[in-house]
Chains A and B, each alone.
Chain A
Amino acid sequence: MSSGGIGLYLHVPFCAGKCPYCDFYSVRATEAAMDDYTDCLVRRVREAAERTGRRADTLYLGGGTPSLLGAARLCRILGAARESFSIGESAEVTVEANPGELSAGFFREIRAAGANRVSLGVQSTDDGELRLLGRRHTARDAARAAEDAREAGFANLSLDLMLAVQGQTPQSLARSVEFCARAGAAHVSAYLLQIEPRTAYWKNRAQLRLPDEDGAARLYLLACSELEKRGFRQYEISNFARPGFEGRHNLNYWRCGEYLGLGPSAHSFLDGKRFHFPRGMAAFLRGDPPEQDGPGGDFEEYAMLKLRLAEGLSDAGCRARFGHPIPEPMKRAARRYGPNGWVAPTADGFRLTPAGFLLSDALTVELLQAEPARTARRSVRSGS
């Protein structure tokens, strides 16, 4: 396994402002801070490549708001990463960007530096919903950014939507989906809004007027069917793509593949170990080592991640990785949820349906607990 290419994730922790629902790590962007960080990240990328001796098949610049760095800094980072991790032309190289802060030239420059996929944080195409989300762009900004990106040569364009946000109706959601199709997206990520601690939404959660559990569930299922209707096939709980445009970088996470993340709060899974850099910028600049999260990649983790995917869990996949098919008690448990329409059989295994994805946490626990002995022991240990 160690000879294969890994996924390389580079975190860019700068934002123009904090969105009230977001708990990802970000700091205020000043020119000096962005220069320092770029220098540091380029250095770290080179060191990591040397230390691990690995090459990467996918590169993902996420944030924060990577586009805030500007084309020049991004190009330096892209160049350093592609060179050190032998990232070739066939690799997937994604840069996240926010509509409304970009010029057409920006897309051309990063395209020239090797980026071939752009992920735009559209979130909604209803300006009322965008305002309530605290976003600084409008639907028009999003349309222009998508157009600029495509014109710069980004055929692989991904748009982010948010589900169950304040003011969202089935109609406004359908319009947002329609927008994605018209804007020429090859990929859509549609995330259910979650109220995370340490966010402004959390503090004001009593005042938020969000759809209730049933309403959110209806919106999610509507998004799944509307996207499907427009040719975006669901391949993960929150991800939809035209055939051939599934996000390879993220698929690698869910297939329990190896990846290296650099930057504050970036997570890694390499050589059987999980580790992450703490959230603080200063510690990362100082060169503090990542925090170890212990061994990873056991059956429980594998099953939990694979059940996020529409391809589900298969005998062949389990056998290749663990030398045994899906444990029989787990299969039996899965069959129990067939009649509810939550779990469906596949050629040599099973998968969750969209209705099942909505209950993914509860179902995953039910299915995993049906798996005897081995996982039971592990959970005791990690609980102590």
Chain B
Amino acid sequence: MTVPRKNIRNFCIIAHIDHGKSTLADRILELTDSVPLREMEDQILDDMDLERERGITIKAHAVTLLYHAKDGQDYIFNLIDTPGHVDFNYEVSRSLAACEGAVLVVDASQGIEAQTLANAYLALDAGLEILPVINKIDLPSAQPERVRKEIEDVLGIPAGDAPCVSAKLGTNVGDVMEQIVRDVPPPQGDEEAPLRALIFDSYYDAYKGAVAHVRVKDGCVRPGDAIRMMSAGGEFTVAECGYMRATGFEPAPLLRAGEVGVLSASIKDVREARVGDTVTLALRPAKEPLPGYRPARPVVFCGVYPADGAKYPDLRDALEKLQLNDAALSFGPETSAALGFGFRCGFLGLLHMEVVQERLEREYGLDLIMTAPSVVYRIRRTDGTTAEIDNPTNYPDPSQIAEADEPVADAHIYAPKEFVGGVMELCQDRRGEFLGMDYLDAGRVDVHYELPLNEIVYDFFDALKSRTRGYASFDYELTGYRKSSLVKLDILLNGQPVDALSFIIHSDKAYARARRMVEKLREKIPRQLFEVPIQACIGGRVIARETVKALRKDVLAKCYGGDISRKKKLLEKQKEGKKRMRQLGTVEVPQEAFLSVLKLDE
């Protein structure tokens, strides 16, 4: 399946959530006859259940398609799907770096939304040709002409000949194909130069080891070539290379400049084939790696525990398996007095954390308890030593702390101008430092703040969404550390500290947070045979207190007509309920209590 390089089109589809990205991808697959119709499952690119359900793409996917165009020539389409969340912005930027063009899908009734803008800017930054497509014209509320104007006004992208399509019904999707042929530039690159191939995704295959999705920028690569990862440093021998077709892998004798494909080289660990790394030849290495590599560094940590302590080995196995496919996930053993044996896990962000949690629960059938997320604090002790703390349990006694620093991020929030007040209020409330504000156009503003990361991981997205009716996009980049006044907040149940509920917080925020936390716990902890005091303390000083009153009435008064089944069922339910509880000293705490304190605003 080779065509001249001028007939290769490398592109991605970008869109706001639910604007029809995956549906359009499916239609493109159909029009290229890549998948026999009977094998066609809706949204073939989102192959994780989780992705289909949430309507988001977590992993990048790439597929090589053959298209017979109206000009009578055959074209190779490399369609690269991109993750759709700020946690994975780095991965998105690498996927975009593998393309020359981006199909920007905009919903004909909703118009431009937050992620449309964020994604379009990422694509523009990557120097891609942007092809706007107006989708869902079959909806009665569709206003394609209004949306066309919006694209031109807000994004400044000519949209005069943007196809109006219904990906759902397949209407005019052929026009999109022809535009891709016409407008996406063919790839450049020097086949004779030393190999430079960008890894934009990698996954683990039980037989082949780590398999890298690559875009070859320069040179060629063949099975048998000795390759080197320019950043990670590992050297391997290519076992196999080829194309990922819609129906599966298709081997090829070589991958050349301009092409997108996969290669495997008996790499045992996906961390040896990291997204963003540059593959070159060991014997004839390129001078410079491709720009933009960044090692994945977890910025959010939390404790992950099996609800049933006996499942600890299962949890370890599951984490190991997930890590095979997810180089950004880190974990190490941790013990908690309250929760027993578990793992301290590191994530790229909150969504990454949720995704890992859901996959552990769903794909591995585990019942989990997660502790409050923490960022990495830097502590300088009075004795001159320093420590990085990602776990409140290890937070030193205040008397030993000379200075505490917390990570901060450079944050940009794009929002329509009517929401600027609300956005700034939120950022101030989250201890942000105002850095500036730019008008993107007459209607949209880029609000620029320095924000402490621990304020971002603590439900910042939800708060932003509710203050901007979802019409804001948010992007941030860690920039460093700043001095902060931090305290460790402990929660005591019946006088006993519960380590899993401790967290580190800015002293100005401690009281309000403690208050809400004890209130939430009072709601979530059922009345028990004994009264349960709930206290929030800073270094032994109680700053908030609530009490779960003792149970007074819990009785099935009637056991009528000899029908004891109801009573039996009730007792079984109580026993089941007890199993879902954590026994902390004398207090039984339901698992939801641990989860709910993560989201106090709900």
CB contacts (< 8 Å) of B559 on chain A: these are 253-254, 305, 308
> Across the interface, do A359 and B554 meet the contact criterion of CB distance under 8 Å?
yes
> Across the interface, do B575 and A365 meet the contact criterion of CB distance under 8 Å?
yes
Closest to A361 in B: B554
In the complex, per-residue mask of B572-591: 1 if CB is within 8 Å of any chain A CB, else 0: 10111010000000000000
CB contacts (< 8 Å) of B560 on chain A: these are 24, 62
Decide yes or no: A305 and B564 within 8 Å by CB, A369-B578, A379-B572 being known contacts.
yes
Residue B38 CB within 8 A of the other chain: no
Which chain B residues in 541-561 approach chain A with CB under 8 Å? 549, 551-561
Residue B529 CB within 8 A of the other chain: yes
| Band of interface residues on B | 20 to 34
> Across the interface, do A361 and B562 meet the contact criterion of CB distance under 8 Å?
no
> Across the interface, do B555 and A267 meet the contact criterion of CB distance under 8 Å?
no
Q: Which of B556, B562, B572 has the most CB of A within 10 A?
A: B562
CB distance from A25 to the nearest CB of B (A): 10
In the complex, per-residue mask of A5-23: 1 if CB is within 8 Å of any chain B CB, else 0: 0010101000000000000
Residue A301 CB within 8 A of the other chain: yes
> Across the interface, do A216 and B553 meet the contact criterion of CB distance under 8 Å?
yes
Closest to A337 in B: B529
> Across the interface, do A368 and B555 meet the contact criterion of CB distance under 8 Å?
no
In the complex, per-residue mask of B220-249: 1 if CB is within 8 Å of any chain A CB, else 0: 000000000000000000000000000000
Decide yes or no: A194 and B553 within 8 Å by CB, A62-B561, A253-B562 being known contacts.
no
Residue B402 CB within 8 A of the other chain: no
- A194 CB contact (under 8 Å) in B552, B557, B565: B557
Residue A284 CB within 8 A of the other chain: no
CB contacts (< 8 Å) of A360 on chain B: these are 554-556
CB distance from A198 to the nearest CB of B (A): 13
CA A261 to CA B565, docked complex, whole Å: 14
> Across the interface, do B562 and A9 meet the contact criterion of CB distance under 8 Å?
yes
CB contacts (< 8 Å) of B575 on chain A: these are 365, 369, 379, 383
Give the number of chain A interface residues (Cβ < 8 Å): 50
Closest to A62 in B: B561
> Across the interface, do A361 and B561 meet the contact criterion of CB distance under 8 Å?
no
Decide yes or no: A220 and B553 within 8 Å by CB, A194-B558, A261-B562 being known contacts.
yes
Residue A328 CB within 8 A of the other chain: no
Residue B567 CB within 8 A of the other chain: yes
Residue A357 CB within 8 A of the other chain: yes
> Across the interface, do B557 and A301 meet the contact criterion of CB distance under 8 Å?
no
> Across the interface, do B552 and A383 meet the contact criterion of CB distance under 8 Å?
no
> Across the interface, do B562 and A359 meet the contact criterion of CB distance under 8 Å?
no
> Across the interface, do B561 and A238 meet the contact criterion of CB distance under 8 Å?
no
CA A26 to CA B561, docked complex, whole Å: 14
- B571 CB contact (under 8 Å) in A24, A261, A304: A304
- A363 CB contact (under 8 Å) in B529, B552, B557, B565: B529
Residue B563 CB within 8 A of the other chain: yes
Residue B570 CB within 8 A of the other chain: yes
Closest to A218 in B: B552
- B578 CB contact (under 8 Å) in A192, A216, A365: A365
CB distance from B290 to the nearest CB of A (A): 56
> Across the interface, do A359 and B529 meet the contact criterion of CB distance under 8 Å?
yes
> Across the interface, do B571 and A364 meet the contact criterion of CB distance under 8 Å?
yes
Residue B70 CB within 8 A of the other chain: no
CA A364 to CA B568, docked complex, whole Å: 11
Decide yes or no: A361 and B572 within 8 Å by CB, A259-B562, A276-B563 being known contacts.
no
- A214 CB contact (under 8 Å) in B529, B552, B554, B564: B552
CB distance from A303 to the nearest CB of B (A): 11
- A11 CB contact (under 8 Å) in B527, B561, B572, B578: B561
CA A269 to CA B471, docked complex, whole Å: 64
CA A230 to CA B223, docked complex, whole Å: 97
Closest to B563 in A: A267
CB contacts (< 8 Å) of B553 on chain A: these are 192, 213-214, 216-217, 220, 358-359
CB contacts (< 8 Å) of B565 on chain A: these are 267, 274, 276, 293
> Across the interface, do B561 and A304 meet the contact criterion of CB distance under 8 Å?
no
CB contacts (< 8 Å) of A123 on chain B: these are none
CB contacts (< 8 Å) of B563 on chain A: these are 265, 267, 276
Residue A93 CB within 8 A of the other chain: no
CB distance from B367 to the nearest CB of A (A): 15
CA A305 to CA B562, docked complex, whole Å: 11
Residue A266 CB within 8 A of the other chain: yes
> Across the interface, do A301 and B564 meet the contact criterion of CB distance under 8 Å?
yes
Which chain A residues in 45-69 approach chain B with CB under 8 Å? 62
Decide yes or no: A237 and B555 within 8 Å by CB, A267-B564, A276-B563 being known contacts.
yes
CA A217 to CA B560, docked complex, whole Å: 21
Residue A382 CB within 8 A of the other chain: yes
CA A274 to CA B566, docked complex, whole Å: 13
> Across the interface, do A361 and B557 meet the contact criterion of CB distance under 8 Å?
no
In the complex, per-residue mask of A229-252: 1 if CB is within 8 Å of any chain B CB, else 0: 000000001100000000000000
Residue A179 CB within 8 A of the other chain: no
CB contacts (< 8 Å) of B527 on chain A: these are 213
CA A382 to CA B576, docked complex, whole Å: 11
> Across the interface, do A382 and B572 meet the contact criterion of CB distance under 8 Å?
yes
Residue A158 CB within 8 A of the other chain: no
Residue A191 CB within 8 A of the other chain: yes
Which chain A residues in 15-45 approach chain B with CB under 8 Å? 24
CA A342 to CA B554, docked complex, whole Å: 13
> Across the interface, do A261 and B561 meet the contact criterion of CB distance under 8 Å?
yes
Residue A362 CB within 8 A of the other chain: yes
Residue A366 CB within 8 A of the other chain: yes
CA A269 to CA B559, docked complex, whole Å: 14
A-B contact pairs, 16 of them (CB 8 A): A24-B560, A237-B555, A238-B557, A253-B559, A267-B561, A267-B565, A274-B565, A304-B564, A304-B568, A358-B553, A359-B552, A360-B555, A361-B556, A362-B528, A362-B551, A362-B574
Closest 10 CB pairs of A and B: A217-B552, A192-B557, A217-B553, A267-B562, A267-B563, A360-B555, A365-B574, A191-B557, A361-B554, A253-B562
Chain B interface residues toward A at CB < 8 A: 527-529, 549, 551-565, 567-568, 570-572, 574-576, 578
**Contacts A358-B555, A359-B529, A360-B554 known; 12 new A-B pairs at CB < 8 A:** A191-B558, A192-B555, A194-B556, A194-B557, A237-B557, A265-B561, A301-B568, A358-B554, A359-B553, A362-B529, A382-B572, A383-B576
